[in-house]
Structure 1
Amino acid sequence: VPRQSKPLSSAHVFTFHRQPEPETLEISRAAEVFQTTLQILKNRARQRHERDITAPDKSYTVFALQYFWTCFTILCVRQNPLWGAANTPLVRWLPAEYEDGEREPKGWNQGRLHNGFQLPSPHEVSKKILRTSSMGKEDVYSHMLVEWGQYIDHDISFTPQSSGSAAFQTGVDCLTTCENVHPCFPIQVKQKHNRRGKSCLPFFRSVAACFLSFGSDIEKSLQRQQMNAITSFMDASVVYGHTPKMESSLRDPSGLNGKLVVNCKFKDHKGRPYLPFVNKHSVLHTLWMREHNRIAEVFKHMNGHWNSETIYQETRKIIGAVHQIITMRDHVPKIIGSKSFEDYIGPYRGYDPTTDPSVSNVFATAAFRFGHATIPQIVRRMNESFQEHEHFPSLRLHHTLFSPWRIVKEGGIEPTLRGVIGTAAKAFSANMLLSDEVTERLVVLNTPQHMDLASLNLQRGRDHAIPGYNEWREFCGLKRIKTLDDFQEVVKDCKVAKKILEIYKHPDNIDVWLGGLVEKFLPGARVGPLFACLIGKQMKALCDGDRFWWEADGVFTQQQRAELSRVSLSRLICDNSDIKQIPLDSFIFRKYPSGFVSCDQIPSINLEAWRDENSPGELKKLSQQIY
């Protein structure tokens, strides 16, 4: 929790930005230098031969390859590719579609035609298609479904943006220029957007990632790739950190009890700890910190001969498993529907060493961003009867961004937790998509003006050279969209389908994030067939390609797996907050008191399954006594 007592303005929140680690920055700088040098060599070759080189020249490519291979081996290339490791490229399920074949995003060259037409500005698409002031209908699911999606996304993917405000070669300021100069890729707007008369929104390209192997196609190996700065595995790295340095900073400095560090100054009224100062996260992260320390305390007494490292690692192993269970058993089926879950994921059949668990570019950049259409305008805070809180009223979204101090100063985590449990999620549709809270008043760190999340998402897909909507439909075995009738059949909203085709001019030009977002939901799902496919394939890879997946042989005993299967998000909330009544499934919306049960009725794990045979004494049911 930061040391603040009042809300921060958009110009003073940069210190809480999710910054990449030094190792990530070092690798990305090496990749950026490599990309820039290739471009310089290409330009020199063009001048020397007095001809336009539209495809990479083999001579300069091989020269650059040999030279920079020597220079950046330590930084860029590992002896063996590390699937799912931090600071490695996002996987390409389909080839990148750069305008120059190498690094220039879609829309980079003004006047460039795609299928005979210019691509529309993301800002125009946002304004005419995506922006809404309507809240939409109430969903059968609670807002916790939205919160968990964002939370778990932060556990498996983080694509950092260029951290400097100036272009690498020219020194152009990306916050002020409206020209496309690497790494600046500003979003063009038709009307002047601010008092200074700028006709664009600033945009920083994602940092480049170093290639891991050349394979048989050198040209593709030298294309710009984007980085996943954290591990792709669903391993609770969002709780424990994804580097040794970060992990060490999050552990109790005493090193004697295997616990996580807590705030030494503030506690809630029951003595429960908060996160330490300057931690950027809040409610769900607070729950997991408390849960780790609760279990660690049990292990300390139950297995008295365990040292602090054993306590820490065994507890972390459980926390990671619970993340996987809640996500795959309780969350994903609600997102993609039970039929798609069966088709794309199915029952677990064991670790598959041939499966790459790395997060794909299209998943991180488009498919899993479907949740942006469910972001609410209002953040609800509720009392014990799940009504508007008397002392801490609900807030407009932009008043809560980067303000975790509210947790300490305004009633603890309970009012906000009750709000996400006791509020129905927004059920978006093709004609009611992103709230104007995120399209007109979005606070983006390092940017001194409000931004537009829809424009940012569309521009990010183009920055990453993600193929269009039709290419991904074909990838998933779905029918390509060729006519307005085809599109209307998929969208089920004639006006929206017609408007999109009028703006894009050609169905192959439709950005994948927009196309997937407007598809009609599958039965029992919160996405259409395209995103169900892409999310399902990614989740399948995450579990099958993880040799430490909780169900894999040798990870837990049969008895431990049986106990882990009893976990739930509701039990986690009961054990680590002052909430006494809750739905059995926190993702299902119930109007209090209907559908709420006492915490005593919610199953919990019996940690006796982790008692070491060499541990002396009997401390039955100690887990229920802690807190």
Structure 2
Amino acid sequence: MECLQEAMQLVDSAYKYTRDINKQKLLKKSVSPANLMAFSRQPVAETRTASRAAEYMHVAMDLIQQRLLRRPKRSFNATDLLTQAELNTVAQISGCAAQTLPKTCTSDCWTTQYRTFSGECNNLKNPRLGAVNTPFARWLPAQYEDNISMPKGWTPGKLYSGFTLPLVRHISNMILNTTVIPADLQDNHAFVDWGQWIDHDIDFTPQTASVRTFSDGMDCEASCAKKSPCFPIQVPPGDPRINDTNICIPFYRSSPVCGSGELGSLFGEPNTREQINGLTTFIDASMVYGSTPSMALRLRNMSNDLGLLAVNQNYTDDGLALPPFNYQSTNPCPLNHKISKNLSSDGIPCFLAGDGRANEHLALMSLHALFLREHNRLAKVMKLINPQWDGNTTYHEARKIMGAIQQIITYRDYVPRVIGTEAMQKYLPNYTSYNESVDPRISNVFATAAFRFGHVTIQPIMQRLNDDYKENIQYPNILLHFSHFATWRIILEGGIGPVIRGFLASSAKLQTQDHMMNTELRDKLFQVTSAVALDLASLNLQRGRDHALPGYNDWREFCNLSRAHNVSELAAIINNTDLAQRLVSLYGSPDNIDVWLGGLSEPFVENGRVGPLFACLIGLQFAKLRDGDRFWWQNESVFTPEQREALKNVSLSRIICDNTHIQLVPPEAFTFYPNLEGFVNCSKIPEVNLSAWKDYNSDPSICFRNFKARAEITSSAVALSNYLTTTVIHSWFLYLAATLSGTLAFT
């Protein structure tokens, strides 16, 4: 076990170095764009523990493999010379065995009535299906260069279909670059921001928690060498922005998941590296509540029994709540703070939310504040109509409604605009019932390619509008990169109202084949210093190769679409000969085209905003998410018929009316209305009738009632007393765990 011990020392040392260097850079205010991105992309708390365990195993296997390679004349895999007992020991000591233990679900009221925070036990026959910190699904086998874990494009000179893969930055320069921003006259920017909002509910691919190599301690930003976890993006000659081709754009590999790679078979999985989903799969508003019990407790207001979420104790938005500050993690937001005479030099911290990416830009911050307020509004109304309810019942009933809100807006208002009429009919016909045989997990291709279509619909300017929907003179529109991690702009520059009015009244960028990604994202992503900014297009392409996604043609075949064998066939598919020629000139073969770029190159389906390939992949994913979710809002066991009828009035416009000072909104929240034509007063937007949740029973909770009934039948007063005692102890135990988890998150 010498290799395992060495691996644990290497990983621990790399993690500690990363923590220390991040703190030093913050103190010196010398954070690079790559550092800034890492703050919201590195794993924390339970996900960090799971990632560390997987890193132990992968590094240990690499060390064993390196030693085997020194042996002459034979080719070994690391597992060839390890006994089953030794493999089991590696799994136990690394912590991976604990991460993959089977889950036993209790058959009680809480499990039946409410989701778990972790997503466990949604599927009672396969309790970990869709749970946090489990692998993404593979709809097609991974195509690693070594068939185990080596990314595509890792080995210099390696041929694919007879050609080397082009550099991702070169592809970005040649195909995706644009300074022309065509307007989408059908969809507004709320449509774009909702896509990111819901994406942050269902998938999070954390990058490794180390910024240096495990093997020799090299900082990934200081070298262009490809050594795990560093997979740097090489700068091509003649790059329009970066003159020095000896430097690279930093890129860190995604965290692996336990039970994958060379020891995958030990856990009944394929012997290929898989990536971890750091969120629950399900549309359950986890970006509001968190995906673990410890995070959920950190976000609750434990000072009373009203079932509320915690709010900011330092500032309000003209009397309305803002998310609390995150004081327990390394905090980059003060670096982007314009110091005011009314504030200390420490600046404004980041907000705390259920998802760690909440502070990436102002629109996301605004949506987090909006739905924090909506939960508390729902909880207050619930408590008003059901004063007998305890805080837990009030909280969970409001959370249950919040999950339904995300589902309804997404499937009724958002997805049809993305995939079009035909794909909706094919993949998402009317709901029938829950199907426990459906695998709801987010697929790797969806998270890494298909659902990133939205990146080419983002406007480079973030509009901030006053009460009359005119540019706010005091707080004018800003370039997108000035909104990254700028919580101070919410606190000091008018709150969330100007931002929300901005995304309601401004158009999305229209994706076209010759105008794909704006320079704010391609050349200024997370730019806060003079260091080389990131390129979102290059990051997306490199991430697909890191995950070993099959190419464009393989995915078209998966969706029963025709393959392109040459330029003329590709030109016919994308209806653009010039683009087809440029793609084949870069890639050599249509088989080599990265799936993200290939999907973006296709013309829109009718009434949609993606082509046939992405319509298939996105439609199939949302069908699995719906039909494989036991707590889907239309499942007859989740809400009463009266409640389901009331929920049909859910709308984003109504939520904005109820939780901001905005009184003029679009009747359809994702439709672009030029010059506000069609906007209506909030009095015209239907409300959800919450009287359907009136509980005429006097018990403090639904689950208390169910337990009491069983206790009466068995005449077990002692059992009821134990239940009450356990509930109180359990709540405070979780609160303590949450506090410790936050404190230890960066150790």
1:170 is aligned to 2:253:
no
1:128 is aligned to 2:163:
no
Alignment of 1:361-376 (within 5 A): 361-376=444-459
Q: Corresponding residue for 2:98?
A: 75
The answer on whether the counterparts of 1:14 and 1:445 sit within 8 Å (CA) in structure 2 is no
State the alpha-carbon separation in 2 of the partners of residues 244 and 596 from structure 1.
Answer: 41
Deviation at 1:289, TM superposition (A): 0.7
Q: Corresponding residue for 1:622?
A: none
Deviation at 1:57, TM superposition (A): 6.5
Q: Corresponding residue for 1:525?
A: 608
1:39 is aligned to 2:88:
no
Q: Corresponding residue for 1:208?
A: 256
Q: Corresponding residue for 1:198?
A: 246
The one-letter code matched in structure 2 to 1:226 is: Q
State the alpha-carbon separation in 2 of the partners of residues 514 and 40 from structure 1.
Answer: 36
The answer on whether the counterparts of 1:468 and 1:510 sit within 8 Å (CA) in structure 2 is yes
The answer on whether the counterparts of 2:664 and 2:682 sit within 8 Å (CA) in structure 1 is yes
Q: Deviations over 1:240-260 (max 9, x none)?
A: 111111111111131321111
Pairs aligned (count): 609
Q: Corresponding residue for 2:20?
A: none
The one-letter code matched in structure 1 to 2:506 is: T
Deviation at 1:588, TM superposition (A): 0.3
Q: Deviations over 1:306-348 (max 9, x none)?
A: 0111100000000010000000111000000021011012111
1:86 is aligned to 2:169:
no
The answer on whether the counterparts of 1:27 and 1:75 sit within 8 Å (CA) in structure 2 is no
Q: Corresponding residue for 2:383?
A: 300
Deviation at 1:285, TM superposition (A): 0.8
1:148 to 172, 190, 194: 194
Q: Deviations over 1:407-457 (max 9, x none)?
A: 121111111111100001111111110101111111179994301110000
1:109 is aligned to 2:155:
yes
State the alpha-carbon separation in 1 of the partners of residues 37 and 577 from structure 2.
Answer: 43
Q: Compared with structure 1, are the counterparts of its residues 268 and 76 closer, same or farther at alpha carbon in structure 2 (3 Å cutoff)?
A: closer
Instruction: Give 3-state SS (helix, strand or coil) of 1:185's partner.
Output: coil
1:138 to 177, 184, 192: 184
Deviation at 1:59, TM superposition (A): 4.3
State the alpha-carbon separation in 2 of the partners of residues 96 and 447 from structure 1.
Answer: 37
1:327 is aligned to 2:410:
yes
Q: Corresponding residue for 2:277?
A: 228
The answer on whether the counterparts of 1:78 and 1:212 sit within 8 Å (CA) in structure 2 is no
Q: Deviations over 1:142-165 (max 9, x none)?
A: 110000000100010001001221
Contiguous gaps of at least 5 residues in structure 1: 617-627
1:274 is aligned to 2:316:
no
State the alpha-carbon separation in 1 of the partners of residues 474 and 85 from structure 2.
Answer: 68
The answer on whether the counterparts of 1:560 and 1:610 sit within 8 Å (CA) in structure 2 is yes
The answer on whether the counterparts of 1:564 and 1:605 sit within 8 Å (CA) in structure 2 is yes
State the alpha-carbon separation in 2 of the partners of residues 15 and 370 from structure 1.
Answer: 22
Instruction: Give 3-state SS (helix, strand or coil) of 1:133's partner.
Output: coil
State the alpha-carbon separation in 2 of the partners of residues 382 and 43 from structure 1.
Answer: 59
Q: Compared with structure 1, are the counterparts of its residues 52 and 8 closer, same or farther at alpha carbon in structure 2 (3 Å cutoff)?
A: closer
Of 33-42 and 534-543, more deviation after overlay is shown by: 33-42
Q: Compared with structure 1, are the counterparts of its residues 52 and 74 closer, same or farther at alpha carbon in structure 2 (3 Å cutoff)?
A: closer
The answer on whether the counterparts of 1:41 and 1:60 sit within 8 Å (CA) in structure 2 is no
Deviation at 1:194, TM superposition (A): 5.5
State the alpha-carbon separation in 2 of the partners of residues 238 and 218 from structure 1.
Answer: 30
Deviation at 1:9, TM superposition (A): 7.4
State the alpha-carbon separation in 1 of the partners of residues 274 and 224 from structure 2.
Answer: 24
The one-letter code matched in structure 2 to 1:68 is: V
State the alpha-carbon separation in 1 of the partners of residues 227 and 529 from structure 2.
Answer: 18
Deviation at 1:535, TM superposition (A): 0.5
1:433 to 516, 520, 535: 516
Alignment of 1:16-31 (within 5 A): 17-31=40-54
Of 82-91 and 220-229, more deviation after overlay is shown by: 220-229
The one-letter code matched in structure 2 to 1:565 is: K
Deviation at 1:35, TM superposition (A): 1.7
1:505 is aligned to 2:588:
yes
Instruction: Give 3-state SS (helix, strand or coil) of 1:337's partner.
Output: helix
Contiguous gaps of at least 5 residues in structure 2: 1-25, 104-125, 326-349, 352-357, 360-364, 700-747
Q: Corresponding residue for 2:506?
A: 423
Deviation at 1:44, TM superposition (A): 2.9
1:51 is aligned to 2:74:
yes
1:248 to 283, 297, 311: 297
State the alpha-carbon separation in 2 of the partners of residues 118 and 56 from structure 1.
Answer: 29
State the alpha-carbon separation in 2 of the partners of residues 264 and 8 from structure 1.
Answer: 29
State the alpha-carbon separation in 2 of the partners of residues 609 and 95 from structure 1.
Answer: 47
Q: Corresponding residue for 2:637?
A: 554
Q: Compared with structure 1, are the counterparts of its residues 183 and 216 closer, same or farther at alpha carbon in structure 2 (3 Å cutoff)?
A: closer
The answer on whether the counterparts of 2:96 and 2:259 sit within 8 Å (CA) in structure 1 is no
The answer on whether the counterparts of 1:31 and 1:76 sit within 8 Å (CA) in structure 2 is no
The one-letter code matched in structure 1 to 2:249 is: L
Q: Compared with structure 1, are the counterparts of its residues 28 and 368 closer, same or farther at alpha carbon in structure 2 (3 Å cutoff)?
A: same
Q: Compared with structure 1, are the counterparts of its residues 243 and 219 closer, same or farther at alpha carbon in structure 2 (3 Å cutoff)?
A: closer
Q: Corresponding residue for 1:623?
A: none
2:206 to 141, 160, 172: 160
Q: Corresponding residue for 1:413?
A: 496
Q: Corresponding residue for 1:339?
A: 422
Higher helix proportion, which one? 2
Q: Compared with structure 1, are the counterparts of its residues 345 and 61 closer, same or farther at alpha carbon in structure 2 (3 Å cutoff)?
A: farther
Of 473-482 and 591-600, more deviation after overlay is shown by: 591-600
Instruction: Give 3-state SS (helix, strand or coil) of 1:566's partner.
Output: coil
Q: Deviations over 1:475-514 (max 9, x none)?
A: 0110011121211122222211110110000111100000
State the alpha-carbon separation in 2 of the partners of residues 450 and 387 from structure 1.
Answer: 32
Q: Deviations over 1:335-381 (max 9, x none)?
A: 00021011012111111101111111000000000000011110011
Deviation at 1:228, TM superposition (A): 0.2
The answer on whether the counterparts of 1:167 and 1:173 sit within 8 Å (CA) in structure 2 is yes
Q: Deviations over 1:268-322 (max 9, x none)?
A: 23x2111112314411111101111111111112111101111000000000100
Q: Deviations over 1:53-82 (max 9, x none)?
A: 5x7764458676344234335433121561
The answer on whether the counterparts of 2:232 and 2:250 sit within 8 Å (CA) in structure 1 is yes
Q: Compared with structure 1, are the counterparts of its residues 87 and 465 closer, same or farther at alpha carbon in structure 2 (3 Å cutoff)?
A: same
Q: Corresponding residue for 2:87?
A: 65
State the alpha-carbon separation in 2 of the partners of residues 128 and 14 from structure 1.
Answer: 25
Of 184-193 and 199-208, more deviation after overlay is shown by: 184-193
Name segments (4+ residues, structure 1) moved above 6 Å: 212-220, 444-447
Deviation at 1:20, TM superposition (A): 2.1
The answer on whether the counterparts of 1:207 and 1:226 sit within 8 Å (CA) in structure 2 is yes
The answer on whether the counterparts of 2:184 and 2:510 sit within 8 Å (CA) in structure 1 is yes
State the alpha-carbon separation in 2 of the partners of residues 166 and 9 from structure 1.
Answer: 16
Q: Corresponding residue for 1:442?
A: 525
The one-letter code matched in structure 2 to 1:25 is: R
Instruction: Give 3-state SS (helix, strand or coil) of 1:138's partner.
Output: strand
Q: Compared with structure 1, are the counterparts of its residues 21 and 149 closer, same or farther at alpha carbon in structure 2 (3 Å cutoff)?
A: same
1:239 to 284, 288, 293: 288
The answer on whether the counterparts of 1:373 and 1:433 sit within 8 Å (CA) in structure 2 is yes
The one-letter code matched in structure 1 to 2:648 is: S
Deviation at 1:138, TM superposition (A): 2.9
State the alpha-carbon separation in 1 of the partners of residues 85 and 519 from structure 2.
Answer: 50
Q: Deviations over 1:363-410 (max 9, x none)?
A: 000000000001111001112222222221110111111112211211
Q: Corresponding residue for 1:388?
A: 471
1:473 is aligned to 2:556:
yes
Of 56-65 and 523-532, more deviation after overlay is shown by: 56-65
Q: Deviations over 1:79-112 (max 9, x none)?
A: 1561111111111111110001111100100011
